[in-house]
Amino acid sequence: MALYITSVYPHLYLGPSRHSSKEQELVEEVESMKLELSRANQLVASLQKKGGEVLLMSPAAAKASALLKSGMSLTQIYSKYVEVRTVVNTSIHNVVVVVDIVDVVVVVHEMMISIMIKNLMGVIFTETTPTGDTWFQI
């Protein structure tokens, strides 16, 4: 039967002499890929054992990994992000207000110290403006 098929359809003949080298190349490529997969699995296993090192290398990557492993949905993660961002923005605004207040207090204290020094030295002169305001000339 095989002789009949090859005589009627010679282009279907897949004998060992035509494709053995190609088959051998494919087998070698498959073996190479198996070896590469084995090495990759070993690398992944070693990284899983050394979770602390990943934390040291990239705290952000470690936190992202923990979030992914926590089972939170993308919506929950985004909600947490918005909540934290709001707290941080409020804190930053509060810090800016406090810094502005400290700046004003420092300027007032500088003026008070300057006035006190001039007063101790007897060098303060008062001047009345046309509107009746009293100004200190230092």
The domains of the chain are located at 1-49
- Nearest CA to 23 among 11, 33, 15, 34? 15
Encode the chain (138 residues) as per-residue pLDDT tens digits: 445 555 555 555 555 555 578 888 888 889 999 999 888 888 777 766 665 555 556 777 777 777 777 888 878 888 888 999 999 999 999 999 999 999 999 999 999 998 888 777 765 556 666 676 666 555
DSSP string, 94-117: HHHHHHHHHHHHHHHHHHHHHHHH
How far is 30 from 41, CA to CA, in rounded Å? 16
As separate numbers, helices (DSSP H) first and strands (DSSP E) second, the chain gives: 5, 2
pTM comes to 0.36
